[in-house]
Amino acid sequence: MADEVVLLDALASMFGMRARVALAEKGIEYEYREEDLVNKGELLLKMNPVHKKIPVLIHNGKPVCESLIIVQYIDEVWKDKAPLLPSDPYQRAQARFWADYVDKKVYDAGRRIWSRKGEEQETAKKDFIECLKVLEGVLGDEPYFGGKTFGFLDIALVTFSTWFYTYETCANFSVEVECPELIEWVKRCMEKESVSKSLLDPHKVFDLLVIWIRGVGESKKIEC
């Protein structure tokens, strides 16, 4: 029986893009479904009743939620093709540690950049740049975070590059000036079709964010 794979997603989501890159790396065919995050659909609420967030991977009718868990699930189910996580337990732990750092620190600082103003935004910008510098150090002289090959941590972080233009525009700075080697790494990743075809154009991310903020209204808390 052929696998039935559906991805509930939103184009501008750096979390959704992780699932898209992982599926592309493995060469999995799937049905992409764009979700309205302002007026959430039945299927999303049913498939992710806990967080009510995208992405959700529905594999043969069963949902898997949370982007990093989705990427690991994809890696485990389609394990014959292009492994994403390192085979060594220690390296695996390291990759997971830094992916968690991306979720906790990079995401949080990035979010504060576009959702705050003034002093708070300045602090967010400093935090964001600091986090990226830490990650630049983790990359070191290797071509990818996975070492010689593209892998889990590369997927976890590279999708955030689609938001760099938004962060830069909101807070007047340049990631390339601050972290040139990280930008070189982004360009290297973009040479892979699995990445370039899965990532949304940074200008479109910005446009969608503007539309989204308008749709939700300033009063309501939104997350992306």
Ligand X SMILES: N[C@@H](CCC(=O)N[C@@H](CS)C(=O)NCC(=O)O)C(=O)O
Note whether 199 and 155 are within 8 A (CB).
Answer: no
By CB under 6 A, is residue 67 in contact with ligand X? yes
125 binds ligand X (CB under 6 A): no
DSSP 64: E
Query: Minimum distance between the CB of residue 1 and ligand X, rounded to whole angstroms?
Result: 28
Tell me: does residue 205 bind ligand X (CB under 6 A): no
The nearest distance, CB 15 to ligand X, in angstroms, is 4
Smallest distance, Å, CB 144 to ligand X?
Answer: 21
Give 82 or 208: the residue with its C-beta nearer to ligand X. 208
Please say which residue, 177 or 211, places its beta carbon nearer to ligand X: 211
Q: Which of 6, 10, 17, 175 binds ligand X (CB under 6 A)?
A: 10
Rounded-to-integer distance, Cα 109 and Cα 1, Å: 44
Cβ atoms 71, 84 nearer than 8 A:
yes
Contact 95, 145 (CB under 8 A): yes
Q: Which is nearer to ligand X, 49 or 180 (CB)?
A: 49
Dist CA 32 CA 218 (whole Å): 29
Q: Shortest distance, CB of residue 127 to ligand X, whole angstroms?
A: 18
Tokens 């997927």, located at residue: 155
SS (H, E, C) 140-172: CCCCECCECCCCHHHHHHHHHHHHHHHHHHHHC
Q: Which of 180, 131, 177, 178 is nearest to 157 (CA)?
A: 131
19-58 footprint of ligand X as x/- string (CB under 6 A): ------------------x--------------xxxx---
CB of 173 to ligand X, least distance (A): 22
- Do 71 and 83 touch, CB atoms closer than 8 A? no
# binding residues, ligand X (CB under 6 A): 14
Q: Is 162 in the site for ligand X (CB under 6 A)?
A: no
Task: State the residues that interact with ligand X by CB under 6 A.
Answer: 10, 13, 15, 37, 52-55, 66-68, 222-224
